[in-house]
Amino acid sequence: MNFLQAEPTYIISFEEIFWGGILVAFSMGIHGIGMLWVLRVNHSVNKKFSTKKNFITGLWPIIFASFMIIFVHLTEVLLWSLFFLWRNCFANGSLSFYFALNEYTTVGSKFNLPLNWRLLEGMISITGLLTFAWSTGVLFTLAKEFQEQGFVLFARRHHKN
C-alpha cells in the first residue's frame, strides 16, 4: 500500500446531506412505528397468557419481540439498500443490502460508496447506533417485566412450602 498516494478530493455536498437526513428520518420513523408495534404485540401476547403464568409463557413474548425487532432493523437496512441501488452505488441488490447491513451494524466492509456519497457511510452507522439503543431500551423494559413476573411466581411457590 502506498501511503504517499493522495486520496481524491472529497467535498460534502448539499445533496448528500439532504438525502442522508431523509434516510435517517425515515429510518427513525420506521423504528418508532416498529417499536410501538413490538410493545403492542407483546402486550397482547402477555394478556393472552395471563392465566397461565410460567417460565415459558413469560419468556416466549421476549423471544418473539426479539424477532420482531430484528425484522424492523432489516426493514431499515432495506431502505438504505434500495437508496444505494437507486443511486447506482452497487451492481446488485445483494451487494447493496450486504453493504448497508454491515455499515448499519458498524461492522464495516471492504466495499465503499462512490466518493460523492461517502458521508452516508457514517450516517447509516449513526442511524444503526441510535436504533439499536432504542431497541435495547424496549428489550430492557420487556426483560424487566419478565423478571418481575418470575420473581412473583418464585415467591408464591416458595411461600406455599
pLDDT at 2 over 70: no
pLDDT interval class at 145 (50, 70, 90): confident
Report if residue 50 sits inside a domain. Answer: no
Report if residue 49 sits inside a domain. Answer: no
What is the structure's pLDDT at 111? 96
Residue of higher predicted confidence among 155 and 101: 101
For residues 121 and 113, is the Cβ–Cβ distance under 8 A? yes
Average pLDDT over residues 118-129: 97
Report if residue 55 sits inside a domain. Answer: no
Report if residue 29 sits inside a domain. Answer: yes
Handedness of CA 49, 55, 58, 60 (dihedral sign): negative
pLDDT at 49 over 70: yes
pLDDT interval class at 98 (50, 70, 90): very high
Long-range contacts of 108-113 (CB under 8 A, 24+ apart): 113/84, 113/89
Helix axes 93-104, 55-86, angle to 10 degrees: 120
Domains identified in the chain, total number: 1
Report if residue 160 sits inside a domain. Answer: no
In angstroms, the Cα distances linking 16 to 49, 92, 93, 156 are 49, 21, 21, 59
For residues 122 and 93, is the Cβ–Cβ distance under 8 A? no
pLDDT at 3 over 70: no
Report if residue 158 sits inside a domain. Answer: no
What is the structure's pLDDT at 110? 94
Report if residue 139 sits inside a domain. Answer: yes
What is the structure's pLDDT at 159? 74
pLDDT at 66 over 60: yes
Between CA 158 and CA 154 the distance in angstroms is 6
What is the structure's pLDDT at 112? 95
CB hemisphere CA count around 143 (13 angstroms): 7
Report if residue 142 sits inside a domain. Answer: yes
Its domain, for residue 71, covers 14-40+60-153
